[in-house]
Structure 1
Amino acid sequence: MMGRRLRRLWNLTRRHLGGIGAAVLTVGLVYSGSVEWLELRSLDKRFELRPRRAPSAPIVIVSIDEASVRELNEPWPFPRRLHGQLIDRISAWKPLVIGFDVLFPEPSSRGRKDDEVLGAAVTRAGNVVLAASCIKEMQALTDIQIGYVVVDCNLPILEVGRGAVAAAPVDLYQDADSHVRRAPLNVLVGDKMEPGFDHQIYRQAVAAGLPAKALPDADTILVNFRGGRDSFPSIPYYRIVKGEVTPEAFPGELTGKIVLIGSTTQAEHDVFPTVFSGGVGMSGVEIHANVLETLIRGDPIREVPRTVSTALALIAALAGSGLVVRFRALRALVVTALAWVVVAGLSYAIFATADVWLRDAAFTVGLMLGYGSTATEHFIRTQRERRRMSLFFSQEVVRTLMRERDEGSLTSSRRVVTVLFSDIRDFTSLSEKLAPEQVNEMVLDYLTEMTEIVEKNGGVVDKYIGDCVMALYNAPLPNPDHAANAVRTGLELQERVLSVSAKWHAKIGVPIRCGVGINTGEAVVGFLGSRKRPAYTAIGDAVNLAARLEPLTKDHGASIIISEYTHQLVQGRFPTRPLGEVTVKGKLLPVKIYGVVPTSVRQHTRVALDAAAMLTTIGDGQSWRARTADISEGGLALTGLPPDWDVGRKIQIRLDGGGLSRQVLAEGTIVSRRGDAAGVQFTTVEGDSKPAIAD
């Protein structure tokens, strides 16, 4: 019992080896980070497909753009006094907080006064958060994103920063592909966690009256980007400095808003690829606006735990393999594609509606690897089996067998079949007269001819047993006239063996003859045998009886013997003669058997004739006197022949007396033997002899 269970478990495991290997490989790829870039690209694609969301948080960008550089006619970096003027003008609107995304780590090149003017404006405003630049060291995180450890921060110089409410690291985090998708809430500076630039601005805005949202319990967040460049309202730097935009003219423009000041020019290199950048890049200040929008709305992208996505990938690999095992490859491909569409659609839906990121790239990889590995293994195994089957079956049968096997319908079952056995008579003694190479060549000739005839009549060669051929009819392909087709095969076999015999008689001086046994009955048909080497065959009493009938052909002087069961199905369609009852080995009750007479001998009306026959064998010139029993235009029956004149022997015939109007001269071939009697088929009849036969 235990052994059977283990074998069953092994068989199940063997069929899913491709899926198991794919599952292991998928997990390895996930934890090695090899599919992370696919996951990140998949996240980007979700943002692209999701409808754009208009920003709703009170955020305005004051952009240091190309127009400002041109209109102010000042090279970058601008004089710090201009920054001071800007802060003073913005403060007149009474914004919630001002975030200055410009670094001031060194004194101004324009002198101390330039720094003091800016510092005084920062102090007067009382709500300015300045940017600090940090010295970072990269480290690999467990989730494959690039991580940083801040070693030190370059804070704004004292003259500028003493009046700021905070100075915080402004640096953005980039993934391994250089895209910005995450933002730091807190930054490890030395051994202490400090709020990042966006976190500090958010805290100041909440302190100034902005409704607070619960922040994620994490040091980094996935930014819920609202769109690409220019998604947030902005005012050019120069328009405020030059007084074109004032509180009097635009009273609500910056009042109660979070104002971010920063460069939006490509020349400043403060641009980064993001989920929406499309290769152009988004300015740092716009990215900070997206981070603040995410914090204010409280909707950062939430990640499904990696263990869940890894488990899904594992299941996908096994499912992809299982689909190939369960269905045909094409149908499995369709189901696999549908499974991918469902999961991809589900993952997009929960992203678009709930801001949840379910990593499905690993699922896709697992599904593809599971399907691909098993389908490839299945294809290789199928092609190997197809080539092996092609050695025994016709292409039509092979296609049917493979299709039914793939559909799972090719199991062993009971069905009525007709079984034919045929082999070369006296093959053992014949082999002793030949070299092994000659035996091989002769058997090859014989079996090739036999196989062609079997397949022509809708049968399949079940197996070759030495010189013996076993053929099935009505399996695996339906063959309603299977009994008649089997008998027809036997008749054509006897015709064809004459040509094979003539060839080998000329070579070795020995004719070849064969016997055919045919039976119809119920048998178990299907792929049978050991688990390692199954073969399509039939087993049962019907097969055994057919095998027992074939050797009886020699004893009963018939080249083809059929059982009474086959005879019932073909009666009246072929000339047969009863041979009595026999008890074969393995059966208790006797079986009626019938001999099938070659149709070429029986296609003409026979008449009784008792005439002297002078016979001479063609080739060795042996002569023999015999008597005729009957005659027709196609042949005659003889009695008194020597026992070694076998089927297939060609003879010259001279007939005299018996009421013949004249002497008959002809040539013919012995086509059947029984005792000292023989059936002869005419091959040629001299012209003057034909009227005598006709009379």
Structure 2
Amino acid sequence: MGRLGARLSRLLRQYLVGIAAAAVTLGLILFGPVERWELLWFDQLFELRGMRPPTAPIVIVTIDESSFQELNIQWPFPRALHGKVIDRIAADRPLAIGIDVVFDSESRFGPEDDAALSAAIARAGNVVLGMAIARDAQVLYSIGGKERGAAREVVSMPLPIIREGAAAVALINVEPDPDSHVRRAPVRQQVPDPMKGYEWWLAFDAQLHRLATAKGLRTRPLPTGPEILVNFRGPLAAFERIPYYRVVANEVPESLFRDKIVLIGSTSEVMHDVFATAFARAGDMPGVAIHANAVDTFVRGDPVREVPRLASTILAVAAALVGSVVAVRLRAARALAVTALLLAAGIAIAYVAFARADVWLRGVAVTFGLVLGYGATVVENFVREQREKQRLSRFFSPDVLRVVVRDRDGRSLRPRRRLVTVLFSDIRGFTTISERLPPEQVDEMLREYLTVMTEVVFRHGGTVDKYIGDGIMALYNAPYEDAAHALNAVRTALEFQERAIPFSARWEAKLGTPIRCGVGINSGEAVVGSLGSRQRNEYTSVGDTINLAARLESVTKDYGVPIIVSEFTYEYVKGQLPTRELDTVTVKGKSQPVKIYGVMPSSTRRHPRAALDAAVQLAAADGQTCRARAFDISEGGLGLVDVPDEWPVGSKVEIRLDGGEVGRRIVAKGMIVSRRGEKAGVQFTALDPGLTPVIAEYVARGRNRDEIDEAEAGAGRR
């Protein structure tokens, strides 16, 4: 007995995950969102099956946009016009005519208009008129100034003069499911009666079935229940139809309505008589098209039949247990194959049952149970977890990696759409640089550079997406939330620039040129997660947000700015870092223009400025010289024009400025910190302390920003 008990205990532990999965599956079926998922699955089955040709002889007279335009009248149309349409249809001797309009108020054209419609209905003898029920709030009493009431049902019935000649009056209401999709059609409906309480009436579509049957159409008997699941043939386009105005103008093919069930109703969007249905891709469906689908289902006698919920629930619980058994008994690869095969078989059976036998198998719960049971394989994933840890160590900082590895079900790495900030950076002129060094030194330089920059990314909470030659791509706000993701990305870019200075100093002697990097940053939604093939996948991101960030990095050299952010990133960091608007551009691969902003180091030209018009002599470290003009000045630097393109951002220069309006000749050292065409921003790196108060005094009595702009424009013209 003890040995048997131990074995049972071991089996219980082994299959505990499966038992828990079965319990969770049952709970979600009874109390969770599974029913809503099942309804979506029901809709998807229709989409997969596609349209079917209607079997019943149905023609729809559409009150559409073209009818409003051709008739040039507003709704409601004159009822005599409806009468004319009925007379034309009746002349072809149809089986039945159904009007999906409620004539519950007197015509605005007078009693004669109502009488004309009534006479046409009586002459036809086979017209089914629509009525409707609306729920309205009714105040019953008031307590303490607060009204108390209840919902009452208000019946909208055709006027007596109009309905007296009708073959039947029936409810045209369609009742959506809780998700607002129409999937069912009533057979019989309860109609409130002041004297009798409620009476059961045949619904609109069932009345048309009754009349058509009486005229000799071969039909199946009406179902005994109160409603059916409509076996939708398709959207409005699936049915034969003719615009209302053509019937008015007698532009009707010969015998179009002969031995047909004719429906008259609105298909115009302005009438707001549209509903969501199973055919979601075709858009919302007009109410008259829903009635056409319901009539066709009644005539053919093939409503969709659903498997009882009890049977579906038992099957779903069993699937969870089967998934657990497969995961425990088989090796990981074989278990995956068997589970996938079971899933594919289940989906195929559900589709075939629906497409061939009009049977709805509730497959979502079964699929969910099987997948959840298969999740028991997580207990066998320890070795794989270690491999994953090694693989992901190059993407994530150590702190983030520990959390990711503990997430054994891999939820944090599953591809999903989320808000991210993306950073792209690369070394300027790397191709030229690599030609000056042997391959071994290129590798050494890249290793040192990328190691330093990766540390910077990790320090600011970023994730390294990939290395692209000399470039680096980093993500922020993935895989975990970071409220300051955009700010941290820009801080990373700023530190890139700072760390590049000592790095450049170490390699400049070998290269003969300084090393500079450009950075592009963008924020937006992207698909982020572990993407790729079964043989190889990586944690990465894809989407338009990523592409724009890469494009921004490529245009930094065009504007002479080391860091460019999009307008989307700017919205997150404005006011927190020194920025300036550069331009509105349409980058390659984008059709919409995007505002771009340059980000300056915190020390860059933050002092107040004043307009200045003075000649400047510049000398570069390599001995080159040029003459430029200053258009503004501050204690921190100068704004210049006419600076050659060959003098990039980061160039160190000696400055000699004629005194001009400042009153003193200025000799200083500086660095070009921004560029746009021939315009450049120069930051002082060495300035005679005695000149600082002179410049400050000049700025204090300087002109406003508008005058600076005018001076800049004037200098540009020179």
TM-score normalized by the length of structure 1: 0.51
Secondary structure at 2:129 match in 1: strand
Question: Which residue of structure 2 lines up, in the alignment, with residue 313 of structure 1?
Answer: 316
**Corresponding residue SS for 2:280:** coil
Counterpart in the other structure of 1:228: 235
| Distance in 1 of aligned mates of 2:66 and 2:295 | 26
Partners of 1:136 and 1:321 in 2: how far apart?
49
Q: Which residue of 1 aligns with 2:39?
A: 40
**Counterpart amino acid of residue 341 in structure 1:** A
Task: Report the RMSD for the aligned CA atoms in angstroms.
Answer: 2.3
* Residue 377 of structure 1, CA deviation: 4.0
Mapped to 1, the partners of 2:74 and 2:153 lie a distance apart of 32
Quote the residue 2:82 is aligned against: 83
* Aligned partner of 2:156 among 136, 146, 154: 154
Q: Give the Cα separation in 2 of the matches to 1:382 and 1:244.
A: 73
State the AA in 1 paired with 2:350. S
1: CA distance, partners of 2:57 / 2:236:
17
Distance in 1, matches of 2:126 and 2:232, equals 26
8 Å contact from structure 1 (residues 153, 169) kept in 2: no
1:263 aligned to 266, 269, 273, which one?
A: 266
Matches within 5 A, 1:53-68: 53-68=52-67
Identity %: 49
Partner of residue 200, structure 2: 193
Match of 2:128 in 1: 129
**Which residues in structure 2 correspond to 1:420-435 (within 5 Å)?**
none
| Residue 211, structure 1, aligned to residue 223, structure 2 | no
1:42 Cα shift? 1.4
Give structure 1 stretches of 5+ with no counterpart: 139-148, 388-695
Q: CA deviation at 1:242?
A: 1.3
Cα distance per residue 1:6-31 (max 9 Å; x no partner): 33222212111111111111111112
Q: Does the 8 Å CA contact 2:50/2:234 hold for their aligned counterparts?
A: no
Q: Which whole-Å CA distance do the structure 2 matches of 1:19 and 1:103 have between them?
A: 56
Give the distance between the partners of 2:361 and 2:222, measured in 1 at CA.
21
Secondary structure at the aligned position of 1:273 is classed as strand
Query: Are 1:348 and 2:348 counterparts?
Result: no
Aligned AA (1:269): H
Q: CA deviation at 1:137?
A: 8.9
Give the Å deviation of 1:217: 2.8
Corresponding position of 1:641: none
Residues 174 and 180 in structure 1, CA contact (< 8 A), matched pair in contact too: yes
Q: How far 1:358 sits from its partner (Å)?
A: 0.7
Aligned counterparts of 1:49 and 1:363: Cα–Cα separation in 2: 19
Paired positions, count: 370
Mapped partners of 2:157, 2:39: distance in 1: 33
Residues 219 and 300, structure 2, Cα contact 8 Å, conserved in 1:
no
Q: CA offsets per residue over residues 147-189 of structure 1, 9 Å max, x none?
A: xx99452111112111111111101121122111111111122
Contact 1:150 1:189 in 2 (8 A): no
Contact 2:22 2:320 in 1 (8 A): yes
Amino acid at match of 1:88: D
Distance in 2 of aligned mates of 1:107 and 1:262: 19
Match of 1:174 in 2: 176
1:361 is displaced (CA, Å) by 0.6
Whether 1:24 and 2:16 are equivalent positions in the alignment is: no
Distance 2:384 2:250 in 1: 81
Change (3 A) 1:150 1:296: farther
Residues 455-500 of structure 1: per-residue CA shift (max 9 Å, x gap):
xxxxxxxxxxxxxxxxxxxxxxxxxxxxxxxxxxxxxxxxxxxxxx
Q: Partner residue of 1:253?
A: 256
Cα distance between partner residues in 2 of 1:294 and 1:109? 37
Letter of the 2:110 counterpart: G
Q: Letter of the 1:302 partner, please give it.
A: R
1:630-641 matched pairs, under 5 angstroms = none
For residues 176 and 379 of structure 2, what CA distance do their matches in structure 1 show?
41
CA contact (8 A) 2:52 2:238 kept: no
Preserved contact between residue 235 and residue 282 of structure 2 (Cα < 8 Å): no
1:202 and 2:209 aligned: yes
Tell me what 1:376 maps to: 378
How do 1:456-475 residues align onto structure 2 when only pairs under 5 Å count? none
What is the letter of the counterpart of residue 127 of structure 1?
N
C-alpha distance in 2 between matches for 1:35 and 1:73 = 49
CA displacement at 1:262 relative to structure 2: 0.2
Map of 1:260-659 to 2, 5 A cutoff?
Answer: 260-278=263-281, 280-372=283-375, 374-379=376-381
Q: How many angstroms apart in 2 are the aligned matches of 1:39 and 1:221? A: 17
Cα distance in 2 between the residues matched to 1:32 and 1:192: 34
Using the alignment, how far apart are the partners of 2:190 and 2:283 within structure 1?
31
Q: Distance in 2 between matches of 1:34 and 1:104?
A: 41
Q: Which amino acid aligns with 1:356?
A: V
Q: 1:134·1:150 contact (CA, 8 Å) conserved in 2? A: no
After superposition, the Cα gap between the structure-2 partners of 1:150 and 1:375, relative to the gap in structure 1 and judged at 3 Å, is: farther
Shift of 1:378: 4.1
Q: Aligned partners of 1:333 and 1:176: how far apart in 2?
A: 36
Unaligned runs of 5+ in 2: 138-150, 193-197, 390-718
Return the alpha-carbon distance in structure 2 between the equivalents of residues 359 and 261 of structure 1.
36
- 1:45 to partner: Cα distance: 1.7
Counterparts of 1:679-690 in structure 2, within 5 Å, are none
CA apart distance, 1:228:
2.4
Q: Per the alignment, do residues 181 and 256 of structure 1 end up closer, same or farther by CA in structure 2, a change over 3 Å counting?
A: same
Q: Deviations along 1:530-554, whole A, 9 cap, x unmatched?
A: xxxxxxxxxxxxxxxxxxxxxxxxx
- Judged with a 3 Å threshold, the aligned counterparts in structure 2 of structure 1 residues 150 and 41 are, in CA distance, closer, same or farther, namely farther
Higher CA-based Rg: 1
Give the drift of 1:109: 1.9
Tell me the SS of whatever aligns to 1:27. Answer: helix
Q: Structure 1 CA distance, aligned partners of 2:382 and 2:17?
A: 12
Q: Which one of the candidate residues 236, 244, 255 is aligned to 1:237?
A: 244
Question: Is 1:60–1:259's contact at 8 Å kept on the other side of the alignment?
Answer: yes
Deviations 1:628-657 (A, max 9, x none): xxxxxxxxxxxxxxxxxxxxxxxxxxxxxx
Residues 178 and 273, structure 1, Cα contact 8 Å, conserved in 2: yes
Which whole-Å CA distance do the structure 2 matches of 1:329 and 1:220 have between them? 47
